[in-house]
Amino acid sequence: MYKRIFVAFFLVILVFVNIAFSEESFLEKGSIPSLKRAFTADPDKFTFAIIGDKTGGGEQNWPIFDRAVEEINLLDPDFAMTIGDHIQGYTEDVNVVEKMWKEYMDHLSVLKIPVIFIPGNHDISNTIMFKFWQEKLGKTHFSFDYKGCHFVGIDTEEYRAPESATAIKSLSDFLINDINKNKSAKHIFVFMHRPLWIEDKDMWKNIESALDGSNYTVFAGHYHNLSSDTINNHKYIVLSATGAGMSEFSELELGMLHHYTVVTVDGENASIAIIRPGNIIPDTISNAEFHKKMESSLSFKQEIPVPIGKEMVIGKFGVVLKNEVTKPFKVNVKVSDINEKLWKVNPLETVLETSPGEEKQATFELSYNADSVPTPPKFAIEFYYDGKILYKTEQKIEFASTKLK
């Protein structure tokens, strides 16, 4: 009886699971098999990247920055924004400033997409650097539209301007007026270097009042430490660095990580992804040509004549290691199964190591007669790639043959 109740209960569960499975997971029967989710209704769906601070220490961290740039190219967003601190700055020597910018642009120019710059304290460290930015790069605060969204970039270093008080008021007026004119945008994105909502709450209070009633997200940098907050139902994110100086202590929950950011805008929604450089790779990382070189890197040549009677004969088992890739190889070949009364092998083991572009060979000599034929020895092979074992295999002796395998 209990069994019948259990079976009935199980069948009912299956019916409910099947209904849920068919109605919630898949499209209607007979259509394309697919997870039942709505396709985007926004023909203007797009993505943009944000590159964090590069300076404030971290002079040795160009490889981190370069890897981020390479990965952004692979992801191919519509455009990228920086969040400030492109150069080390803090100098009044214009020639030094130019050299710093040249270094940064040499690395950044690998990007294949448009990049919009936000100034940081290292970029505008004094009045001379403020003027340099205006003359060589352009405006210190600005706005633009893209696919129904509005983007605003502001300069938190405006107090470095020759007439600082006037410049700061001009910035505040610009931002408030600009926001009021664009409240109907699908999304407003505000970019700055220092997080004003933390460092200048009085100024930000007026800006936040202007933003009220709009759909907006705010990004800043400066702290080299990721921190995300939701204020009045809107995202405020302080982004960490992309190659700038940072403590070697790395902990995700503490926001202590190098990263870049990818934002996907779909209608009024903005999905924000924090990406650590090192995990986005091109499909060409492992290609057919490389695999062919790996497959042909290790070969064996056997010269094992068939013996007649008790007379001892000499055979040869050759190993060839050819390295046509960019990392070192090592192969360890040793006799693993041998009847020592019927076979003599010299040496019993050999190790070959090759650097890229090298080829090395080794030969085992085998002494045996007709009685030895039923029990040929075997060779155990361990293949190492860049110091790590890639595979283990076994090779058997074959009589009367000269073969490459």
pLDDT digits 0-9 by tens, 187-232: 999 999 999 999 999 999 999 999 999 999 999 999 999 999 999 9
Does residue 370 contact residue 308 with C-beta atoms inside 8 Å?
yes
Residue 38 pLDDT: 85
pLDDT higher than threshold 70 for residue 78: yes
Share of the chain above pLDDT 90, in %: 85
pLDDT higher than threshold 70 for residue 115: yes
Per-residue pLDDT band for 249 (boundaries 50, 70, 90) equals confident
Residue 30 pLDDT: 60
Count of residues making up the chain: 405
Per-residue pLDDT band for 17 (boundaries 50, 70, 90) equals very low
Residue 316 pLDDT: 96
Mean pLDDT computed over 307-335: 96
Which one, of 269, 282, 278, 274, lies nearest residue 51 by Cα? 274
Which one, of 402, 403, 385, lies nearest residue 326 by Cα? 385
Dihedral angle sign, alpha carbons of residues 109, 111, 116, 117: negative
Mode of pairing for the β-strands spanning 298-303 and 313-322: antiparallel
Cis peptide before 347, with omega less than 30 degrees from 0?
yes
**What distance in Å separates the CA atoms of residue 64 and residue 258, rounded to the nearest whole number?**
8
Residue 56 pLDDT: 94
Per-residue pLDDT band for 23 (boundaries 50, 70, 90) equals low
C-alpha angle 50-52-53 in degrees, rounded to nearest 5: 150
Does residue 360 contact residue 331 with C-beta atoms inside 8 Å?
no
- Do 46-280 and 288-396 fold alike per CATH? no
pLDDT one-digit tens code per residue, 364-381: 999 999 999 999 999 999
pLDDT higher than threshold 70 for residue 278: yes
Does residue 372 contact residue 339 with C-beta atoms inside 8 Å?
yes
Q: Which DSSP symbol is given to 306?
A: P
At position 280, the amino acid (one-letter code) is: I
pLDDT higher than threshold 70 for residue 335: yes
Share of the chain above pLDDT 70, in %: 91
pLDDT higher than threshold 50 for residue 5: no
Residue 247 pLDDT: 81
Average pLDDT, the chain: 91
pLDDT higher than threshold 50 for residue 403: no
pLDDT one-digit tens code per residue, 151-184: 999 999 999 999 999 999 999 999 999 999 999 9
Residue 26 pLDDT: 56
109 burial level (CB within 10 Å; 0-12, 13-18, 19+): exposed
The stretches of 161-276 forming alpha helices (DSSP H) are 164-181, 196-199, 201-211
Q: Which CATH class is domain 46-280?
A: alpha beta
Residue 85 pLDDT: 98
- The residues spanned by each domain of the chain are 46-280, 288-396
Per-residue pLDDT band for 25 (boundaries 50, 70, 90) equals low
pLDDT higher than threshold 90 for residue 89: yes
- Give the E-state strand segments of 86-231 in sequence order: 115-116, 142-146, 149-153, 188-191, 216-220, 227-231
pLDDT higher than threshold 70 for residue 44: yes
pLDDT higher than threshold 70 for residue 21: no
What's the predicted TM-score (pTM) here? 0.82
Mode of pairing for the β-strands spanning 359-368 and 234-238: unpaired
Which one, of 153, 132, 154, lies nearest residue 144 by Cα? 153
How many of the other CB atoms lie within 10 Å of CB of 48? 22
Residue 28 pLDDT: 56
Instruction: Identify the architecture of domain 288-396 in CATH.
Output: Sandwich (2.60)
